[in-house]
Amino acid sequence: MIRSVTTAMATVALLAGAASAGWAAPCKDTKGKFIKCPPAAAAPAAAKPVAANVTKDAKGRCHVASGPKKGQFTKC
């Protein structure tokens, strides 16, 4: 008995929460008018750390510095 009541209450709560989240649009004010969306907060683009066995040449391309694949192009 208690389990069925608890399950029913949880189901109603989930449905009510999903419905209210679905109605809210990101670029609308409280009256429902469209407004300019705020710019997305982009993370600062930090330079990727280059692996220990990878070197960049004068043109900015990455090469394997040592090992059996020495001299081959690779991702930076």
What is the number of structural domains in the chain? 1
43 part of a folded domain: no
For 3-57, how does the pLDDT look when each residue is reduced to its tens digit (9 = 90+)? 787 887 777 776 665 455 455 567 888 888 988 888 877 666 656 665 678 899 9
39 part of a folded domain: no
25 part of a folded domain: no
26 part of a folded domain: no
Range(s) of the domain holding residue 67: 49-76
What pLDDT score was predicted for residue 21? Answer: 47
Residues facing residue 63 across a β-bridge: 55, 73
Give the mean model confidence (pLDDT) for residues 61-68.
88
71 part of a folded domain: yes
60 part of a folded domain: yes
What pLDDT score was predicted for residue 46? Answer: 59
Cβ within 8 Å of residue 66, ≥6 positions away = 53
Total-model pTM: 0.31
